[in-house]
Amino acid sequence: MKINYTRDTLSSTYLDAVKIRNIVFVQGQGVPLAIEVDKNEAHCIHFVLYDDTNKAVATCRLLPAENGIAVTLQRMAVLSGNRGKNYGKLILNAAIDFAKKQGYQQMTLHAQLSAKGFYQRMQFESLGQEFEEAGIKHITMIKALS
């Protein structure tokens, strides 16, 4: 098991991340590709978890805020055949550790309602009202990193 991260949108790690996102969000949930791959790609740090056979199985990205204090977790996805193996927890912890080492003080995210319990178990708290994004109900969640 290994986790790679990159800012390079020409790297194989980034391409693996987009491949997972395409399978989970575009093909699996009907999110339009124009929304899924957005203008922030080059500004994000992209994480990919590889299993013991070196297959890319999970991804997420971090979008740093301009204020240098906060970071937003986005595009968290685990391939369906690999769910229930703690891969989501592993990649999220890697992103949290990275953000802490970079000095960020808080992490926010827009959780799909079906994943709200997962993020709560990872000590994220709900903030505000539910809303719809890409035709899917979400809630904003936040976690202090200090």
* pLDDT, average across residues 2-8: 97
Q: What pLDDT, in 10s, does the model give residues 102-113?
A: 999 999 999 999
Give the model confidence (pLDDT) of 55-88 as tens digits: 999 999 999 998 889 999 999 999 999 998 999 9
Tokens 């399978």 sit on residue: 23
pLDDT-derived band at 146, boundaries 50, 70, 90: confident
Distance of CA 55 to the CA centre of its chain: 18
* CA distances, 24 to each of 78, 79, 80, 83, 138 (Å): 7, 6, 8, 12, 16
**18-43: pLDDT as tens digits:** 999 999 999 999 999 889 999 999 99
Q: Is residue 5 classed as helix, strand or coil in its secondary structure?
A: strand
pLDDT at 5 over 90: yes
Q: Please tell us whether the domain made up of 2-144 is placed in CATH 3.40.50.12780.
A: no
Could you tell me the CA-to-CA distances from 117 to 102, 111, 120, 124, 126 in Å, in that order? 27, 9, 5, 9, 10
CA atoms within 13 A on the CB side of 93: 8
Please give the Cα distance from 51 to 40 (Å, whole number).
27
Domain positions in the chain? 2-144
Label residue 96 by pLDDT band (50, 70, 90). Answer: very high
Q: What is the dihedral of CA 32, 141, 84, 12, to 10 degrees?
A: 50
